Structure 1
Amino acid sequence: MDYLLNLVRRHKSDETVGIHSVCSAHPLVIAAAMETALERDLPVLIESTSNQVNQDGGYTGMTPAAFRDFVHGIADRTGLARQRVLLGGDHLGPNAWQSLSPEAAMAKAEVLIDQYVKAGFRKIHLDCSMSCSGDPVPLQDAVVAERAARLCGVAEHAWRTSGGEAPVYVVGTEVPVPGGAHEDLDELSVTTPGAAALTIDVHRQAFAAAGLAAVWPRVVGLVVQPGVEFDHHKVIDYQPQRAAELSRFIEGEPTLVYEAHSTDYQTPANLAALVAGHFAILKVGPGLTFALRETLWALADIEEQMTGAGQGSDFKNTVLEVMRTEPEYWRKYYDRDPAQVRFDQQFSLSDRIRYYWPHPAIQAAQAQLLANLERTTPPLTLLSQYLPAQYEAVREGRVRNLPVDLLKEGVAKVLRQYMDACAGTAIKELETC
Structure 2
Amino acid sequence: MTHPLRSIPAAFHSGKPLGITSVCSAHPVVIEAALSLAKETGRPALIEATCNQVNHEGGYTGMTPSDFRSFVEEIAQKVGISMDNVILGGDHLGPNPWKSLPAEDAMTKAEAMIAAFSAAGFTKLHLDCSMGCAGEPVALDDDTTASRAARLAAVAEANKTDRDPVYVIGTEVPVPGGALDELHELAVTTTDAVSKTYAVHKTAFAEQDQQSAFDRVIGMVVQPGVEFGHSDVIKFVPSNASGLTDYLKSLPMIVFEAHSTDYQSEEALAALVQGGFSILKVGPWLTFALREALYGLDAIADVMDGYAPKNRLMSALENTMLQRPDNWSKYYEGSDEDLFYQRHFSYSDRIRYYWPTEDASEAVSALKSRFAGRTIPEPLLSQYLPNVTAKHFDEALLEAVQNVLKVYDEATLSK
The normalised TM-score by structure 1 is 0.93
RMSD: 1.4
Q: Is the 8 A contact 2:298 2:309 kept in 1?
A: no
Matched ranges for 1:118-267 at <5 A: 118-159=119-160, 163-267=161-265
- Any idea what the Cα deviations from partners look like across 1:290-337, whole Å, max 9, x if unmatched? 010111111111112122559989222111111111111111111211
* Preserved CA contact (<8 Å) 1:101 1:133: yes
- Alignment equivalent of 1:410, drawn from 400, 403, 415: 400
Equivalent AA in structure 2 for residue 104 of structure 1 = D
Q: Deviations along 1:203-250, whole A, 9 cap, x unmatched?
A: 001011111122222000000000000010000000000000011101
Whether 1:110 aligns to 2:111 is yes
| In 2, Cα distance between equivalents of 1:274 and 1:41 | 22
Q: 1:130 to 1:308 in 2, by over 3 A?
A: farther
Cα distance in 2, alignment partners of residues 54 and 423 from structure 1 = 32
Counterpart of 1:394 in structure 2 is: none
- 2:174, 2:270 → 1: CA distance? 23
Q: Distance in 2 between matches of 1:243 and 1:229?
A: 14
For 2:404, the aligned partner's letter is: V
Please give the per-residue CA displacement for 1:148-184, whole angstroms capped at 9, x wherever unaligned.
000000011111xxx3110000001124322211222
Decide whether the 8 Å contact of 1:171 with 1:221 is kept in 2. yes
1:422 to 401, 412, 415: 412
Q: Which has the higher helix share?
A: 1
Determine whether 1:43 maps to 2:57. Answer: no
Amino acid at match of 1:136: P
**Gaps in structure 2 of 5+ consecutive residues:** none
1:421/1:311 Cα in 2 relative to 1: closer, same or farther (>3 Å)? closer
Q: 1:349-386 CA deviation, whole Å, 9 max, x = no partner?
A: 00000000011111111111112123332211101111
Q: Whole-Å Cα distance in 1 between the matches of residues 396 and 332 of structure 2?
A: 30
**Matching residue's letter, 1:19:** I
8 Å contact from structure 1 (residues 20, 284) kept in 2: yes
> What residue identity is the alignment partner of 1:111?
A
Which deviates the most, 214-223 or 114-123?
214-223
Determine the C-alpha separation between the residues in 2 that align with 1:84 and 1:371. Answer: 33
Are the equivalent residues in 2 in contact too, given 1:189–1:227 (CA < 8 A)?
A: yes
Contact 1:312-1:369 at 8 Å conserved across structures: no
User: Does residue 296 of structure 2 align to residue 316 of structure 1?
Assistant: no
Give the Å deviation of 1:127. 0.3
8 A Cα contact 1:24 1:46, kept in partner: yes
CA distance in 1, matches of 2:162, 2:81: 20
The answer as to whether partners of 1:49 and 1:90 remain within 8 angstroms in 2 is yes
1:276 aligns with 2:274: yes
Q: Distance in 1 between the 2:194 and 2:184 partners?
A: 23
Shift of 1:135: 1.1
Runs of 4+ in 1 over 6 A off after TM superposition: 310-313
Distance 1:113 1:209 in 2: 20
Moved more, 122-131 or 209-218: 209-218
Instruction: Give the structure-2-normalised TM-score.
Output: 0.97
How many residues get paired?
Answer: 414
